[in-house]
Structure 1
Amino acid sequence: MSIEDRLQQLNIELPSASDPAAKYANYVYLNGLLFVSGKGPSGNPRGKLGLDYMTEQGYEFARLAGIEVLAVLKSALGSLDKVKRAVKIQGFVNATADFEEHHKVLNGYSDLLLEVFGEKGIHARSVLGAVSVRDNLPIIVDSIFEVEMDIDADGVKV
């Protein structure tokens, strides 16, 4: 089953890849790895875990941020079937000092990768609590994937 078929089965519709929020690239490809810049959840929710949102809401925000990452992957690769495996994800949870469930929040993104990619979605990860993040988003995730990318002799995507 293709990843596109899997997304349809999961009722996941990918948005267009969002533009970077400043002067940086959405992704960088190097030696078979695609480094995806930090993405937040669609809809631009604002606030902190432990104050404005509970863990369950954070889980959904992490899942939505993961869908944003999938949109960037599709934009970069043309097809999510070119993802060989998820390598590493890192989550920055905008949380109060006493919030202790960062790992449960990031599970929203980890679970999404496993649902979409199966065994290829198993990854290493880190999650950190942050005093503040860009635009007061509840979570930002960045990711590294091993991929098949079509590039020319000069290293330019074709």
Structure 2
Amino acid sequence: MNCYERLRARGLTLPTVPTPIGNFMHCTREGGLLFLSGQGPLDETGKLMTGKVGATVTADEAYRHAQLVGLNLLAVLHAELGDLQRVRRVIKLLGMVNATSEFAEHPRVINGCSDLFVDVFGDAGRHSRSAVGVGSLPNNITVEIEAIVAVRD
């Protein structure tokens, strides 16, 4: 089963890549590496998922938000490469959670994206990762994740 079939089997489709909210590109290539700018959680209607994890948003809800971020990152990869089959390996994720100071389940939240990447890419989706809590994120989004991905020509 290829990446797109795995997405369909989960009932998922790639969203439209959103317009950057600042003076940056969603993706920069250097050699065989793609550096993906941080993406936020947009639902199927294009609505941003906002709030503070540990206060107004549960860890389970934030896990789903991280999965939405993963879908947005996959959409960026598809737009850049034309085919997700060109992904050789997901190298590294940096996941940021807009959380209360007491919240301590950041890795569990970012697993929403990590689990999606492993489901879609198999072993090539396994990656190094940091998951951190922050006091705020742009537009009060719950989760932001950036990625480094190795690709085939």
TM-score tier, shorter chain, comes to: over 0.9
Rounded to whole Å, the distance in 1 between the matches of 2:17 and 2:109 is: 23
Identify unmatched segments of 5+ residues in structure 2: none
Unaligned runs of 5+ in 1: 150-158
Following superposition, the deviation at residue 6 of structure 1 comes to 1.8
In the alignment of these two chains, the number of paired residues is 149
Matches within 5 A, 1:2-151: 2-42=2-42, 43-149=47-153
Over residues 84-112 of structure 1, what are the superposed CA-to-partner deviations in whole Å (9 max), with x where a residue is unaligned?
01000011100000000011000101100
Task: Using the TM superposition, give the Cα deviation of residue 114 of structure 1 relative to its aligned residue in structure 2, in angstroms.
Answer: 0.6
Residue type of the alignment partner of 2:111: N
Match of 1:153 in 2: none
Aligned partner letter, 1:41: P
Q: What is the CA deviation profile of residues 30-61 of structure 1, one whole-angstrom value per residue up to 9, with x for unaligned ones?
A: 02000000001112021110111111011000
Q: Which letter maps to 1:50?
A: G
1:2, distance to aligned residue in structure 2 (A)? 2.1
Deviations 1:100-141 (A, max 9, x none): 001100010110001100000000000111001100000100
Runs of 4+ in 1 over 6 A off after TM superposition: none
Could you state the TM-score of these two structures normalised by the residue count of structure 1?
0.92
Q: Distance in 1 between matches of 2:19 and 2:36?
A: 12
Following the alignment from structure 1 to structure 2, what is the Cα–Cα distance between the partners of residues 46 and 5? Answer: 30
What is the root-mean-square deviation in Å for CA atoms of aligned residues? 0.8
